[in-house]
Amino acid sequence: MNDWSALKRLTAARIGLARAGAAVSSQDLLAFQLAHAQARDAVWREWDAEACAAELERRGMASLTVQSRATDRALYLKRPDLGRRLDEASAATLMAASEQHKPELALILSDGLSAAAVDAHGISTVSAIQKTLQSAAISCSPVVLARFGRVALSDEIGHALGAQVSVIVLGERPGLSAADSLGIYLTHSPTVGNSDAQRNCLSNVREPGGLPPSAAAARLLSLLRRSLAAGMSGVLLKDGGPALP
């Protein structure tokens, strides 16, 4: 009997690996190499934001496409700072949009460090979030599709749109157990220069094996309501929502 079998049912972590002499088994070694290749592919994969916009439109959701100051994937990976700021054309686009409507929440979808995660779960996640916001009568911007974005890009986007809160959904850094996880970051009073201490995060949004988009949307709404009521987010805002599944 495998003494690790009970724990292996609870985690994707590599525990209790079989051995062949002083080395791990060939099966486990090949599985590790496959996971490493999938993580590298996810980091370098290009996101088709235009196709995403078309699918959102088909589902009845408006969108705006913007880009950070990183002009390609290689530069984005080498210069994280460029992924935190909008290019000039994108900033102008959002300023023009803000003249028509200032939403309570700016909703952003970005490739981040895993376009594979956005391709797999991005549309279902922002759809679940929008439905939840509509049910709660919270006004939301068109989905802002941000190419080559880091988490802090949500500060400039939210500020440009005049939103009270910004929420960015983006691909998390791939690990060796999951290369397709999304992260959701909420920031009250989005302004360039905010720190990560001013954000709340929901991590490992994916299915199967992670937090389903519907559950993530429900938890986000709980955080959002308390953030709007308290006028804050991050370490000052405790997550008192129901237990995650």
Distances (CA, A) of 42 to 173, 177, 220: 9, 13, 25
**Parent domain of 227:** 44-236
> What would the two tokens of residue 77 be?
């990976």
Q: Which residues of 64-79 are buried (b: 16+ CB within 10 A; e: fewer)?
A: bebbbbbeebeebeee
Q: Is residue 60 part of a domain?
A: yes
- Please count the other Cβ atoms lying within 10 Å of the Cβ belonging to residue 208: 5
Q: Is residue 242 part of a domain?
A: no
- Please count the other Cβ atoms lying within 10 Å of the Cβ belonging to residue 229: 9
> Among candidates 132, 136, 177, which has minimal Cα distance to 42?
177
Q: Report whether 107 contacts 144 (CB < 8 A).
A: yes
Q: Residue holding tokens 């309501």?
A: 225
Residue percentage of the chain with pLDDT more than 70? 96
Listed in sequence order, the residues at least 6 apart from 19 whose beta carbon sits closer than 8 Å to its beta carbon are 25
> What would the two tokens of residue 64 be?
């705006």
Q: Is residue 122 part of a domain?
A: yes
Where residue 118 sits, what CATH number does that domain have?
A: 3.40.50.11240
pLDDT surpasses 60 at 76:
yes
Rg (CA), the chain: 19
- Domain count across the chain: 1
pLDDT surpasses 80 at 3:
no
Q: Is residue 17 part of a domain?
A: no
Stretch 194-217: mean pLDDT: 93
Give the best-scoring range by mean pLDDT among 2-6, 7-11, 196-200.
196-200
Q: Is residue 20 part of a domain?
A: no
Q: Residue holding tokens 């990560």?
A: 196
CA distance 10 to 4: 10
CA distance 205 to 122: 9
- Please count the other Cβ atoms lying within 10 Å of the Cβ belonging to residue 106: 29
Beta-ladder partners of 107 = 167
**pLDDT confidence tier of residue 164, bands split at 50, 70 and 90:** very high
pLDDT surpasses 70 at 245:
no
Q: Is residue 1 part of a domain?
A: no
pLDDT surpasses 70 at 240:
no
pLDDT surpasses 90 at 122:
yes
pLDDT surpasses 80 at 169:
yes
pLDDT surpasses 90 at 24:
no
Q: Is residue 52 part of a domain?
A: yes
Q: Report whether 106 contacts 130 (CB < 8 A).
A: no
CA distance 223 to 52: 27
pLDDT surpasses 60 at 211:
yes
> What would the two tokens of residue 181 be?
């996880």
Stretch 63-72: mean pLDDT: 96
Q: Which residues of 2-30 are buried (b: 16+ CB within 10 A; e: fewer)?
A: eeeeeeeeeeeeeeeeeeeeeebeeebee
Q: Is residue 34 part of a domain?
A: no
